[in-house]
Amino acid sequence: MLPPVAPRSFSPTQAQQYALPVLFVLFGLIIGSWAGRIPALAERVHVSHSALSMVLLCRGLGAVISYPISLFLMGRFGIRRSILFAGMALVAVLVSIGMAPTAPRLMLSVLMLGIAASIFDVAINSAATKWEKQRGKSEMSLLHGIWCAGGLAGATLGSLMASMKIVPAIHFLILAGPLVLMLWSAYRMIDADDGVEQVEKNSFTLPRDALLLLGVLGFLGAMCEGSVIDWSGVFLKEHFRASDGLAPLALSSFSVMMLISRLVGDTLKGRFGAQRLVASGAALAAAGLCFAALAPSAYFALSGFAIAGLGLALLFPFVFSAAGAQGPVALATVASMAYGGSLIGPLVIGAVAHFVGMQAAIAYLGGLAVAIALVASRTRLLK
């Protein structure tokens, strides 16, 4: 049940206790709903692998160009209003994606999705790192786990809608009302004064080499995780001839294991350290992705994607936490490099799928996971 709209007189602890989880689950619902219907959207506008890669490329492009917009909004309006503006745009864009009648219109809508989602992502993670500082303990993994729960719910709902032959346009329209209600409730509760987070130019506090390593991790992680989100359902549908109801379950299995891992990630961080968890998890993800690529059936491939989700789960919570602790500009910089991975990922995977096949494309993601493990083992800022 959604928390009631709270008066602004709530204490900071009470406000953040409810606001941040609502915002993260809202974000997951939107992204999971979009990703879960990619096969149906591609079929609706009759796009090939190469054309679909260009559609998905638009989301990465939107994410990259969102960097100055994100800094402007947080510098001009603060975190709280930035969350509201970006969240409202996200809901509107989701509906427009479902209604897109042609590939060019779909590309434009997906471009706007990339811009709005990235601004929203930076804003809620900035609020979360501020909350971690106030609490004096790691909670980013739990919040990202809640994001996974939202993504899982969105993808599972997409599977249900597809099995009921409900087109994406109607699906997304049904979601719009509850999503707006969730956003407004969290906006009223969140503890962030509208002018608190002022972003100053050239205010980097991380050394360039340390910032670069965090950014490289984000870049590779976004390529790998984003490609699984965007292409896993397509892989099942094409390689195994999976139904519209079964194909989105690749994302569901990936998200379930991410959720489980992130629910215990903060505890594991205190015991083993973020660096060891990210590096070993990436190695595990590599094994899972290679297993999915070589699986004899769609159901075995689902288990491979589940293993990959378990291994990649803690990368972004700990990378964003390390960067966000240095300030919103450092977080936006690392996030921007990660969005570059979102830009390159669909293009590369689409090209590999087009020339070699979807099976090789999924195996290629396993190679990216190996690279993540190597970089993470040398990133000392992952405390």
pLDDT in tens, 204-254: 444 466 778 898 999 999 999 888 877 888 888 888 877 777 887 887 788
Residue 3 lies in a domain: no
Mean pLDDT of the chain: 84
Residue 1 lies in a domain: no
Lowest mean pLDDT among 265-269, 298-302, 331-335, 345-349: 345-349
Q: Is 193 helix (H, G, I), strand (E, B) or coil?
A: coil
Lowest mean pLDDT among 30-44, 50-64, 93-107: 50-64
**Domains in the chain, number:** 1
Asked whether residue 202 carries a pLDDT value surpassing 70, the answer given is no
Q: Give how far Cα 91 sits from Cα of 4, 79, 96, 151, 338, Å.
A: 20, 18, 9, 15, 23
Q: How many CB atoms lie within 10 A of CB 76?
A: 13
Residue 43 lies in a domain: yes
Residue 5 lies in a domain: no
Give the ranges where 164-272 is alpha helix by DSSP (H). 168-189, 208-239, 249-263, 265-272
If pLDDT is split at 50, 70 and 90, which confidence band does 277 have? very high
Q: Could you read off the pLDDT of 101-160 as tens digits, one per residue?
A: 888 898 999 999 999 999 999 899 888 888 887 777 788 899 999 988 888 788 888 878
CATH for 32: 1.20.1250.20
pTM (2 d.p.): 0.78
Q: Give how far Cα 209 sits from Cα of 219, 320, 363, 372, 380, Å.
A: 15, 16, 30, 17, 11
CA distance 247 to 36: 8
Asked whether residue 76 carries a pLDDT value surpassing 60, the answer given is yes
Domain that holds residue 93: 12-196+204-376
Helix, strand, coil percentages (3-state) for the chain, rounded to 5, are 80, 0, 20
CA distance 84 to 128: 15
Q: Decide which of 64 and 49 is more confident.
A: 64
Asked whether residue 10 carries a pLDDT value surpassing 50, the answer given is no
Residue 7 lies in a domain: no
Residue 382 lies in a domain: no
Q: Give how far Cα 344 sits from Cα of 228, 241, 283, 356, Å.
A: 14, 27, 22, 18
Residue 381 lies in a domain: no
CB 4 within 8 A of CB 183: no
CA distance 350 to 344: 10
CA distance 323 to 214: 8
Residue 21 lies in a domain: yes
The distance in angstroms from the start CA to the end CA of the chain is 36
